[in-house]
Amino acid sequence: MSAPRWDLSDLYASPEDPALEADFTRLEKAAQDFEKSWKGQLSEASPASLAQALSAYEEIEEGLGKIGSYAQLLFAAHTTDPKCGRFAQAVRERITTLSTHLLFFSLELNRLSDEAVATALKDPALAPWQPYLRDLRVFRPYQLSDEVERVLMETSVSGRDAWVRLFDETMAGLTASLDGKDLPINEVFTQLTDKDRAKREAAAKAISRALAEKQHLLVSITNTLAKDKATSDALRGYPRPVSSRNRANMVEDEVVDALVSAVDQSFPRLSHRYYSLKAKWLGLDKLEHWDRNAPLPDVDDKRLSWEEGKALVQKAYAGFDPEMGRHAETFLTHPWIDAAAVPGKSSGAFAHPVVPSVHPYILMNYQGKARDVMTLAHEMGHGIHQLLAGQKQGYLRSSTPLTLAETASVFGEMLTFQSLVDAEPSPQRKRHLLASKVEDMLNTVVRQIAFYQFEVRLHDERRRGEVSAERIGTIWREVQERSLGSAFNFTPDYDLYWSYIPHFIHVPFYVYAYAFGDCLVNALYGVYRDQPEGFAEKYKTMLEAGGTLRHQDLLAPFGLNASDPAFWNRGLDVISGLIDQLESESV
């Protein structure tokens, strides 16, 4: 069986589905009625009335979330289809217009005094909404007037959102000329893992040529969005470009700074050391950037069919916990996953929570490599997390900060990795799997923190004026040289490679969440390995909590504390230990 495409009919049958228009009409009326009933009334409302208003607000937001998710998922699967693009844009515009009737609600809630909210939360009717109000009020100091907030919302569809759409459509339609053929750029990227070095080099140069052709546009998009963010940050009073992301992640600035510092200081013992080993294994004095993901020599590039890949993931989750295994099986036996690698489809991978009344959907591009199996395991972790949190907490309280959202995904990868290693009889292939896992960890921790450092420098410079393509390339190269070490020689064409990374466009400063999640999972997996009894139940309780608990409360049952600077080194020590093992086997 080939990799599947998803079926979105659990949301709507098509963009012309009468149910979609009926839902829009119903929600437009509900939003208008909600505004008439509650605008200007919250300061005088009783706790029971506030709880009633929150429930009504959640119902409208979930309805909009269902429509918006359908449009977003349809566009992701058919990004180069103009009809899907127009539909997605029309939905965004209509939702934005409708949402202006709801905007007052969060703004008025945040204008309530701390004393009034604390008193109201003592009432049992309002108590379940405490986590939602707590997280909403994190943004209270940065809230603008109702009029300004409304303008920012209404202009987003023709401003930031339009530039993001332009980037997505550009990258989805981007091809690279290789061996006389114009291929989707995602397909060319997969050849960077080919065992033939000449093929890797040819693929890398083809990617560089393709990116160079679009460089003026990609630099313009990046500068425009960075300026847009700087303007918004200045209006709201955020002290640093990353400050708004930290607030959204419900994590303290000092915790993120400690993570970044710990990883930066560990570059020599992690990436520098590993890639020096890899250069030796490949018989090279220096690695080029197209060698970074090269397979190890003397190991077959084994391809796994979709059936084999999904069986491995299913087994890993079921081996950890029967209930988790059943959830994985549900995803794998229902048309909830779009895994086929086809032209015109969004690159990368994601799990979209959609709404609790439906179910999450997963998108990836499965091509049969071991890394694709790990991607499936990763997104499966997201999907199960979203499913459990949505069922337990509902729409407004299920959303998990990015830092904690990566926990379930990376833990799922670790489970699948151990399953692969345990099932592999060949010592040589086991060593290959171990090296591949180290590389995945370096990509998740070192590479993502380097991405974060690149973003920090880029956004800092953009506050002083537009940044040229040459300067952006220089920042990128300097960060890569520092993070990956002297084992690499970076050719000038690598200066362009920052421009294909969608996270910089979609969610600025998202990337540190990967490192946060990986280090957290390394520590969490250590607890599981040392004390497996009762771990699965505590783990599922953590996932079900969704966004209701902060990281301190979620990790406390496992004896972990992310605020402790030593916590991050505990996670990084796991990676270093795996490199120690590879180093000893190379002697």
pLDDT in tens, 516-558: 989 988 889 888 988 999 999 999 999 999 999 988 898 899 9
Which amino acid appears at position 490 of this protein? F
Three-class secondary structure of residue 574 per DSSP: helix
364, part of any domain:
no
Question: Using an 8 Å Cβ cutoff, are 93 and 157 in contact?
Answer: yes
The first and second tokens of residue 474, run together, are 């220089």
476, part of any domain:
no
Contacts 24+ apart (CB under 8 A), 358-361: 358/10, 358/11, 358/66, 358/69, 359/10, 359/334, 359/387, 360/336, 360/386, 360/387, 360/390, 361/6, 361/8, 361/69, 361/73, 361/336, 361/337
366, part of any domain:
no
Q: How far is CA 378 from CA 413, 456, 519, 586, in A?
A: 5, 27, 15, 30
406 vs 279, which has greater pLDDT?
279
Mean pLDDT, the chain, whole residue set: 93
Give per-residue burial for 165-175: e unless 16+ CB within 10 Å, then b. bbbbbebbebb
The first and second tokens of residue 557, run together, are 């049952």
Which amino acid appears at position 395 of this protein? Y
* Distance between CA atoms of residues 209 and 216, nearest Å: 13
pLDDT in tens, 558-582: 998 888 878 898 889 999 999 998 9
Number of domains in the chain: 1
- Banded pLDDT at 587 (limits 50, 70, 90): very low
Give per-residue burial for 269-307: e unless 16+ CB within 10 Å, then b. ebbbbbbebbbeeeeeeebbbbbbbbbbeebeeeebebe
pLDDT in tens, 153-179: 889 988 999 999 999 999 989 999 999
CATH of the domain at 50: 1.20.140.70
> What residues are paired with 363 via a beta bridge?
338, 350
399, part of any domain:
no
Three-class secondary structure of residue 401 per DSSP: coil
Q: Which helix (H) or strand (E) holds 48?
A: helix 47-77
* Distance between CA atoms of residues 264 and 319, nearest Å: 35
Domain, as residue range, for 51: 8-158
pLDDT in tens, 463-510: 999 999 999 999 999 999 999 999 999 999 999 999 999 999 999 999
538, part of any domain:
no
Q: Which helix (H) or strand (E) holds 496?
A: none
Q: Which helix (H) or strand (E) holds 67?
A: helix 47-77
> How many other C-beta atoms can be found within 10 angstroms of the C-beta atom of residue 153?
15
Cite the DSSP H helix spans in 282-369.
306-320, 322-333
Rg (CA), the chain: 24
- Banded pLDDT at 586 (limits 50, 70, 90): low
359, part of any domain:
no
Q: Determine the pLDDT at residue 402.
A: 81
> What residues are paired with 338 via a beta bridge?
363
554, part of any domain:
no
Question: Given the DSSP bridges, would you call strands 287-288 and 337-340 parallel, antiparallel or unpaired?
Answer: unpaired
343 vs 286, which has greater pLDDT?
286
pLDDT in tens, 233-256: 999 999 999 999 999 998 888 889
> How many other C-beta atoms can be found within 10 angstroms of the C-beta atom of residue 569?
17
Closest CA to 516 of 410, 413, 368: 410
* Distance between CA atoms of residues 368 and 363, nearest Å: 15
Q: Determine the pLDDT at residue 381.
A: 96
